[in-house]
């Protein structure tokens, strides 16, 4: 099968298309033929080692000192089950699924094996493969931060970076929860963010959201412009700051900032839970969350997709469309 391998950290051109053995499912695993995946901020951060301040060494210790230990990037996918291990009863050949290996990655390839009780869930029937592939990365992050913030109906939420993958999921899920959303995005994305449910939009190219005298119960920062010192004056008593993007300093200081201010400061990697995927599938099936897709690229052009995501201006998700891969048994011998 074909896979893009990242054998060293660097620009998009480090990614190389290679032929590798198609995996064979173990007794408790399913083999998925991918129909779509994404290139997201997690992929480009790992590939480039362009990380929030302070995370360089820590990330290399976790993901690989000189090159990623997992050479196949890609955090999420949608596809078809094409084989199932002998112990698998929850999925059958032909099922349409989406999956979120998340930090374990491995989705920029034609076939993936996953445990049947792992981060894989039946695809909502109303979504395309491209939409289903774009459901997990932003949605799961948002569900985790909202859970930790105990976001409640009627609260006022500011989403900084409302047009990105995380932001577009945050606006839609918050609206569903009955939260009043203000989105910070560029003027070009204002209509999109309004259409997702934001009652108000602040154009970050014209106004500084910290200088408008507004007050919020919760601020979610997916960009890094709402650090604790800047965000604190905007938070109402009992307010919470969700630092989806934070440097190591901001993350380590979060408990201290919470302690001295009486506010809640939440930072660090989002927990990846299978329950979130079920929740997202239900939200998508109900039409409450519709993944926003900037554009789709063919698998062969994955390097170009990385170049585009590197620019930092995508709206929602960048999707990779897989060409119809041949039957796995006809590709090569199992490895
Ligand atoms: N903590 C975690 O577990 C976790 C999980 C997922 C992601 N993250 C991090 O969260 C961040 C966001 O991820 P993402 O996938 O949503 O990113 P993304 O999709 O790449 O975000 C890009 C969007 O941000 C907008 N933007 C750029 N500068 C802005 C500014 N100053 N104010 C408001 N909007 C701005 C861009 O539009 P314009 O340029 O047109 O404004 C674009 O629409 C990343 O840094 C990622 O590493 C953390």
Residue 17: both structure tokens together = 């298309």
Tokens of 121: 């869930």
Is the separation of the CB atoms in 144 and 138 below 8 Å? no
Residues 59, 51 contacting (CB under 8 angstroms)? yes
Report the alpha-carbon distance of residue 149 to residue 103 in Å, rounded.
22
Rg of the chain, C-alpha, whole Å: 20
pLDDT recorded at residue 333: 39
Tell me: domain 138-267, CATH 3.60.110.10, correct? no
Whole-prediction pTM = 0.96
The string of pLDDT tens digits covering residues 21-71 is: 999 999 999 999 999 999 999 999 999 999 999 999 999 999 999 999 999
Q: Is the CB of 189 under 6 A from ligand 1?
A: yes
Res 177: pLDDT: 98
**Quick one: which atom of ligand 1 is closest to the CA of 41?**
15
Cα dihedral sign for 25, 323, 299, 282?
Answer: negative
With a 6 Å cutoff on the Cβ, whether 226 touches ligand 1 is: no
Compute the distance between CA of residue 75 and CA of residue 37 in angstroms, rounded to an integer.
Answer: 8
Instruction: Indicate the fold that domain 2-135+291-331 takes in CATH.
Output: Quinone Oxidoreductase; Chain A, domain 1 (3.90.180)
The predicted pLDDT at position 65 comes to 96
User: Under 8 Å CB-to-CB from 173, ≥6 apart: which residues?
Assistant: 139, 142, 143, 146, 283, 288, 289
Q: Ligand 1 pocket, 244 CB below 6 A?
A: yes
Nearest protein Cα to ligand 1, atom 6: 141
Give pLDDT < 70 ranges for the chain: 325-335
Mutate to test the pocket of ligand 1, among 184, 219, 222 (most ligand atoms within 8 A of CB): 222
pLDDT digits (tens, 9 = 90+) for 143-190: 999 999 999 999 999 999 999 999 999 999 999 999 999 999 999 999
In three-state secondary structure terms, 128 is: coil
Q: Tell me what pLDDT residue 327 has.
A: 62
Instruction: Pick from 41, 143, 189, 190 the residue to mutate for probing ligand 1's pocket: most ligand atoms within 8 Å of its CB.
Output: 41
> Is-contact 171 197, C-beta < 8 A?
yes
Residue 21 sits at φ, ψ, to 5 deg, of -65, 140
Cβ of residue 240 lying under 6 Å from some atom of ligand 1: no
Q: From ligand 1's centre to the CA of 253, what distance in Å?
A: 22
Q: Is 41 in the pocket of ligand 1 (CB under 6 A)?
A: yes
How far apart are the C-alpha atoms of 92 and 72, rounded to whole Å?
26
The pLDDT assigned to 326 comes to 61
Q: Are 255 and 243 in contact (CB under 8 A)?
A: no
Residue 311: partners with Cβ closer than 8 Å, 6 or more residues away: none
Q: Which of 307, 159, 38 is nearest to 151 (CA)?
A: 159
Closest approach atom of ligand 1 to CA 168: 16
Beta bridge partners, 216, equal: 235
* Domain spans in the chain, listed from the N-terminal domain onward: 2-135+291-331, 138-267
Q: What is the C-alpha to C-alpha distance for residues 254 and 114, in angstroms, rounded to an integer?
A: 35
What gap in Å lies between CA 19 and CA 112, rounded to an integer? 14
> Is 38 touching ligand 1 by the criterion CB < 6 Å?
no
* Dihedral sign (CA 7, 11, 12, 13): negative
138-267 has the same fold as 2-135+291-331: no
Question: Strands, DSSP E only, in 7-95?
Answer: 15-19, 29-39, 77-84
Q: How far is the CA of 190 from the centre of ligand 1 (A)?
A: 15
Residue nearest to atom 23 of ligand 1 (CA): 164
The residue among 236, 237, 29 whose CA lies nearest residue 120 is: 29
- How many angstroms separate the alpha carbon of residue 223 from the centre of ligand 1? 5
Q: Is the CB of 44 under 6 A from ligand 1?
A: no
């Amino acid at each position: 099968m074909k896979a893009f391998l990242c054998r060293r950290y660097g620009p998009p051109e480090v990614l190389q298309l290679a032929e590798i053995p198609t995996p064979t499912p173990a007794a408790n695993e399913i083999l998925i033929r991918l129909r779509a995946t994404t290139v997201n901020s997690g992929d480009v951060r790992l590939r480039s080692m362009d990380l929030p301040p302070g995370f360089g060494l820590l990330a290399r210790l976790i993901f690989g000192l000189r090159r990623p230990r997992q050479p196949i990037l890609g955090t999420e996918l949608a596809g078809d089950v094409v084989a199932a291990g002998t112990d698998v009863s929850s999925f059958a050949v032909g099922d349409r699924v989406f999956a979120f290996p998340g930090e374990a990655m491995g989705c920029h390839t034609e076939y993936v094996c996953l445990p049947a009780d792992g981060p894989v869930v039946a695809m909502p029937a109303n979504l395309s493969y491209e939409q289903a592939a774009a459901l997990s990365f932003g949605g799961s992050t948002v569900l985790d931060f909202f859970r930790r913030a105990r976001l409640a109906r009627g609260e006022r939420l500011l989403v900084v970076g409302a047009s990105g993958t995380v932001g577009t999921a945050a606006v839609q899920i918050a609206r569903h929860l009955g939260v009043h959303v203000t989105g910070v995005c560029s003027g070009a994305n204002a209509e999109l963010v309004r259409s997702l449910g934001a009652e108000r939009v602040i154009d970050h190219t014209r106004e500084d959201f910290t200088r408008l005298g507004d007050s919020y119960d919760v601020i979610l920062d997916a960009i890094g412009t709402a650090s604790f010192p800047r965000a604190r004056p905007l938070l109402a008593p009992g307010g919470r700051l969700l630092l989806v993007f934070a440097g190591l300093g901001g993350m380590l200081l979060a408990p201290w900032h919470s302690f001295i201010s009486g506010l809640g400061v939440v930072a660090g990697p989002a927990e990846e839970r299978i329950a979130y995927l079920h929740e997202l599938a239900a939200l998508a099936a109900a039409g409450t969350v519709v993944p926003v897709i900037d554009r789709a690229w063919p698998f062969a052009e994955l390097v170009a997709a990385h170049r585009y995501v590197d620019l930092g201006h995508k709206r929602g998700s960048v999707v990779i469309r897989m060409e119809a891969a041949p039957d796995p048994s006809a590709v090569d011998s199992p490895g």
